[in-house]
Amino acid sequence: MKKLTTTLFIVAFAVLAQAHEFWLLPKKFRYKAGEEINVDLMVGESFEGEFWDLQRHRVEKLELHRLNGVKDLTKEVKPTEGNNLSFKADLAGTYLFTLKSNDAYIELEGKEFNAYLEEDGLDYILEQRRKSNSLDKKSTEYYTRFAKLLVQSGERTDNTFKKVVGLRYEIIPEQNPYDLKVGDYLTCRILYEGKPAPHTLVKVWSRVRDTSFLQNIYTENDGTIRFPISTSGPWMVSSVRMIVSEKEGAAYHSLWASLVFGI
């Protein structure tokens, strides 16, 4: 029984290491005036996932940004399996939802942690572990989610999409996705503490029916990436940055950013 428990423990950590993307997913991306916007909080891999467990995790802040201001919706978040947020699309324009989670804790065996670093382009952390002969050692980590979602109400788009909201790790599109069509290109900026994040791995996901497609792109010196809009449907841009933990209890702190929109 002890051996079985240990095996399940390791497998659980391995699964958790892989299921690390986090995003806000609406029931649809375009709305008419007066329609209700329903948003699910999702976690998973390959732009496929399950509902985020709000019994174990916490939303520190969830805001809605529009041209006429910012509305704090944190207290409106429901700890249910899906349908975590509802808001009526009462005004025409582009809506930007932003979320910051609490700091959660994870502990991984060395092999799983190294694989996670390789998958997400965190080579500088992997090199630190190699130089310190720590590749076989387990790792402790805090992680924080920074998620953004763009939806469109009515036909009139606006510049809300490019607002820098001050998340510690943030993805900002330079064109409004709701002005784009298949065949166009989208440029995104990746900011860490308000400054461009050069040479950083960014994952660009798209979904066609039940299949996800992935582009791995590294940012330029100015922290930007540019990619083609190859299909209609849901899109997600995501990236992770890891730093040495600034508080006791873990060796590292990872910052996860995502941006979701529809074409």
* Separation in Å, CA 83 to CA 39, 41, 87, 97, 170: 6, 8, 11, 15, 24
Q: What is the mean pLDDT of each run of 10 residues along the chain (263 residues)?
A: 36 44 97 95 93 91 95 96 94 97 95 94 95 94 97 97 98 98 98 98 96 97 98 98 95 97 98
Q: Taking a C-beta distance cutoff of 8 angstroms, is the pair 198, 220 a contact?
A: yes
Look up residue 183 and give its amino acid.
G
The H or E element spanning position 247 is: none
pTM, full prediction: 0.91
From CA 164, how far away is CA 191, in angstroms rounded? 9
Instruction: Give per-residue pLDDT as tens, 209-218.
Output: 989 999 999 9
From CA 186, how far away is CA 201, in angstroms rounded? 16
From CA 256, how far away is CA 127, in angstroms rounded? 20
Q: Hey, what's the torsion of the CAs at 160, 164, 166, 170, to 10 degrees?
A: 100
Q: What is the pLDDT of residue 55?
A: 82
